Amino acid sequence: MSTDVWRDQNAAWLAQRLRWLRQGMQQLAAEQRSHPETTWLVAGPITSTLAHPAETPSSQFVSALDAIAELVGLSEFEQRLLLLAAAPSLDGAFASACAELNGHSYRDYPTGQLALRLFAPTEERLLFADSLMSTRPLRKLHLIEVGDDSGEPLLLRRLSVDERLTNYLRGVNHIDERLEPYLTALPTAVRSEPAQAAAMRVQETLAHDTDTWPTINLVGPEKSVHDDVIGIVCDTADLVPRQIDISAFADTAPHTRRTLIGLFGREALLAALALVVDTTGDLVADAIVNELIRLLPAPLFVTSTERWATDFPAVRAVHVGALTRGHQVSIWQRALSGHATSVNGEIHDIAQQFDFSADAISDAVSRAASAVDGLITPQDLWDAARETRSTGLDQFARRIEPCFGWDDIVVDDATRAQLQELADQVRHRTTVYENWGFAAQLGRGRGITALFAGPSGTGKTMAAEILAGHLRLALHRIDLAGVVSKYIGETEKNLRQVFDAAERSGSILMFDEADALFGTRTDVRDSHDRYANLEINYLLQRMEDYTGLAILATNRRSALDSAFLRRLRFIVEFPFPASAQRHRIWEQMLPAGALRGDLDYGGLSRLEIAGGNIRSIAVNAAFLAAADGEAIEMDHLLRAAAREYTKLGKPISADEFGDWQCRVPS
């Protein structure tokens, strides 16, 4: 049956019911005028008439009112009560009829007492009045609104229906506008293997709960796969998934939340919705989610990274597998199918580096397509992927934009060779792990983790920047002050968020001053020692599981826990630079555009300081020269060096400064 035909039949059916109701009210009014003293005792004159409704237009036709009754499970009396409450909204003539039956011109609205007089046998009216209790469907789902005049008895308060329900009874089914700020659509489901397997488990769970739809807790690391599972299940069940904005919902007052929960439940029935609460992203108050689980009378999915802790019995947990790299390759290929590309086998490299959801893959492809006029090249796609999912680290990390290349760093040949070997392992992971089959043998521990150890200023951060630039990956330096918490359990939670976000984005993680976080475990003397050791144990396990590149930088290698050192793929030493290396650093430190005088680089190389301090001296000397309106001369460098030595607490000795010592300002 077409929608237009059904609406015409529904309008005819509704008009027939309203005529019948009007006739019944007229009969009751006549009885009331004849016997005003016994009106309450007289049974409704239309009770028997309504028990035998007229024939419907078609045997396959179901009116909107009948549909609500079937969905909610309304009794015959409750259906009639709903029709009465809606009547003034459907036909304004009912207002005067209500006023006459209520005995006052200002009571021009339906009441519970009027409904009992019209529809309930005299001896059962107290029982039928239970239909107006707040726990019964008519009020719990806001099918009927009861006036809030607390001075009036319940049976004398105004009964009405809101615009949403009025439209529904008329055959117009649109989601309540009041709920639009709280509900968002889910993306079209991608039928990946993990999503289909989890959807089948959900359907098996629902098959065992035939009486009511339980809350389904989807447990897994990736929200997009959760969304796909929900989409597949809802397609099968003819439901429309909508996600509740839990933050906006939580910001409302408690009484408003109760009202919203009722409206959510009503909307789920009227619009065939399945509602979704996502807890995998921002922190959500457990009590708010549990309130929805306990009170929402609708199909509900709760998505979480770990099983949701609740004592409510009607919650069924279903674990959802993450997308494997192979699944992601297929999704990348499908997303690129509508674009002109020169991307071939490079997709495997991209999927190996970036652990992306289907949504993130789609975003990356769209970003790459919008950035080019012609073919999407592998570099275009890689750059788009790098920029797509880096933001999840912003809370605990600072992104560093690489500005150095291999020619900028001055280290010995052994250190340079290790750095290049480290870069090669990141670049060729797909070949070794996937093509050659080492992934199946290793299982865990496929991440590449390196320790950069050496004194401050010897090039550890520069080396990390060089690797990030060479590999075209984002580099994030972890803010240890934000990660480490004095509260038990918070540090592990913060680290989990850091590692999870890094794995998704493919970013390089750099833990500067890593000895503060990855230090040696202590003997257990109190509860704080025990939990500190638990944090280190968690880090040991998480570092082993990490699939990306993590760099630990420390000035104190000896302070690191030995268990960490055994799990590191590389330990790269950055020794204090020798004289010849310092000579090269001095030569490279002044940019080509800087005005310089006759500088003695051999003499400067006698200053026993690291590259980072040399950079500070060069920059400060440049400002001194600019202020003097001159080129950078030795006097400027010596003045800046003296200040750097003072800052470091180093004496200005003749061994280093030689004849210049007398030129150093006191």
Closest CA to 275 of 287, 293, 288: 293
- Average the pLDDT over 88-97 and give the result: 92
Q: 429 and 352, same structural domain? A: no
Q: Of residues 210 and 317, which shows the higher confidence score?
A: 317
- Supply φ then ψ for residue 217, to 5 degrees: -100, 105
Q: Which of 117-121, 154-158, 570-574, 608-612 has the lowest mean pLDDT?
A: 117-121
The confidence band for 536, taking pLDDT boundaries of 50, 70 and 90, is low
> In degrees, to the nearest 5, what angle opens at C-alpha 7 toward C-alphas 273 and 231?
20
Amino acid at 108: D
**Residue 410 burial class via C-beta count within 10 angstroms: exposed 0-12, middle 13-18, buried 19 and up:** buried
Same domain, 126 and 272: no
pTM: 0.63
Residue 508, domain member (yes or no): yes
- At 157-175, the pLDDT tens digits run 899 999 999 999 999 999 9
Average pLDDT of span 510-527 = 61
Q: CA 349 to CA 474: how far, in whole Å?
A: 16
C-alpha closest to that of 353 among 384, 377, 374: 384
Q: Please report the pLDDT score of residue 511 as a whole number.
A: 85
Burial class (CB in 10 A: 0-12, 13-18, 19+), 72: buried
Q: Are residues 136 and 97 part of one domain?
A: yes
State whether 260 and 288 are in the same domain: yes
Going by C-beta distance under 8 Å and a sequence separation of 6 or more, which residues neighbour residue 379? 472
Considering only residues 358 and 36, tell me which one the structure prediction assigns the higher pLDDT: 358
Count other C-beta atoms under 10 Å from residue 143's C-beta.
25
| Residue recorded with tokens 């919902």 | 249
Q: How far apart are CA 524 and CA 513, in angstroms?
A: 24
pLDDT at 231: 92
How much is the average pLDDT of 99-104?
88
Is there a domain that residue 394 lies in? no
In a domain, 264, yes or no: yes
d(CA 536, CA 559): 13
Domain endpoint, select from 389, 417, 437: 389
C-beta of residue 73 within 8 angstroms of C-beta of residue 137: yes
Closest CA to 81 of 112, 47, 107: 112
pLDDT tens for each residue of 139-150: 988 999 998 876
**Within 404-471, where are the H helices?**
413-427, 429, 438-442, 460-471
How far apart (Å, rounded) are the C-alpha atoms in residues 363 and 318? 28
Quote the pLDDT of residue 665: 63
Which of 61-70, 370-379, 432-441, 464-473 is predicted with the least confidence, judged by mean pLDDT?
Answer: 432-441
Domain count, the chain: 5
- Is pLDDT at 530 greater than 50 in this prediction? no
Specify the CATH number for the domain of residue 200: 3.40.50
pLDDT digits (tens, 9 = 90+) for 267-294: 999 999 999 999 886 556 788 888 998 8
Q: Is the model more confident about 352 or about 595? A: 595
Mean residue pLDDT across the chain: 83
- Is the pLDDT at 522 greater than 60? The verdict is no
Say if residue 153's pLDDT is above 90.
no
Does residue 45 carry a pLDDT above 80? Answer: no
Cα–Cα dist 365/77, whole Å: 58
Among 389, 412, 437, give the residue marking a domain's end: 389
Using CA atoms, how far apart are residues 243 and 233, in angstroms rounded to an integer? 15
Which string of b and e fits 5-18 if b means at least 16 CB within 10 Å? ebeebbeebbebbb
pLDDT for 557 equals: 80
Going by C-alpha positions, the residue among 96, 97, 9, 82 that lies closest to residue 50 is: 82
Q: Which residues of 199-232 are buried (b: 16+ CB within 10 A; e: fewer)?
A: bebbeeebeeeeeebbbbbbbbbbbbbbbbbbbb
Task: Grade residue 526 by pLDDT with cuts at 50, 70 and 90.
Answer: very low
Spell out the residues 6+ positions from residue 435 whose beta carbon is closer than 8 angstroms to its own.
Answer: none
pLDDT, tens digit (0-9, with 9 covering 90-100), for 639-666: 899 889 889 888 877 777 766 655 666 5
pLDDT score of 666: 57
Q: Which strands, in side-by-side order, build the sheet including 273-278?
A: 183-185, 240-244, 273-278, 300-304, 215-219, 315-319
CA dist 194 and 500 (Å) reads 19
Cα gap 121→535, rounded to integer Å: 70
CATH of the domain at 590: 1.10.8.60
Quick one: 73 and 56 in the same domain?
Answer: yes
Residue 452 has pLDDT above 90, yes or no: yes
Q: Give mean pLDDT, residues 90-101.
A: 91
* Range(s) of the domain holding residue 429: 399-573
Residue 445, token pair as written in the block: 């521990």
Give the domain-ending residue among 350, 365, 389: 389
Statement to judge: residues 476 and 602 lie in one domain: no
Report yes or no on 58 lying in a domain. Answer: yes
Give tens-digit pLDDT for 164-223: 999 999 999 999 899 999 999 988 877 878 888 899 999 988 887 666 778 999 998 778
What value does the mean pLDDT take over residues 514-542?
57
Per-residue confidence band for 585, with pLDDT thresholds at 50, 70 and 90: very high
Q: Are residues 155 and 27 in the same domain?
A: yes
**Per-residue model confidence (pLDDT) at position 161:** 94
DSSP secondary structure of 223-245: HHHHHHHHHHHHHHHT-EEEEE-
Q: Is the pLDDT of residue 573 over 90?
A: yes
605: phi then psi, degrees, rounded to nearest 5? -70, -10
Please report the beta strands in 255-371, taking only residues with DSSP state E, as ranges in sequence order. 273-278, 300-304, 315-319
658 shares a domain with 591? yes
- Where are the extended beta strands (E) located within 125-214? 145-146, 159-160, 183-185
- How large is the average pLDDT for residues 403-411? 92
pLDDT at residue 527 is higher than 50: no
What is the band of 39 on the pLDDT scale with cuts at 50, 70, 90? low
Write out the two tokens for 499: 């590692």
Domain assignment of residue 199, yes or no: yes
Query: What does the pLDDT read at residue 524?
Result: 45
Same domain, 75 and 194: no
CATH for 554: 3.40.50.300
Cα 494 to chain center, whole Å?
16
My answer on whether 407 and 479 are in the same domain is yes
193 and 269 belong to one structural domain: yes
Instruction: Look at residue 46 and tell me if it is in a domain.
Output: yes
Q: Which amino acid is at 221?
A: P
N- to C-terminal Cα separation, the chain: 98
- pLDDT tens for each residue of 245-266: 988 898 899 989 999 999 999 9
Looking at the structure, tell me whether residues 404 and 308 fall in a common domain: no
At 179 the pLDDT is 92
- The secondary structure of 586-653 as a DSSP string is HHHHS-TTS-B----HHHHTTS---HHHHHHHHHHHHHHHHHHTS-B-HHHHHHHHHHHHHHHT----
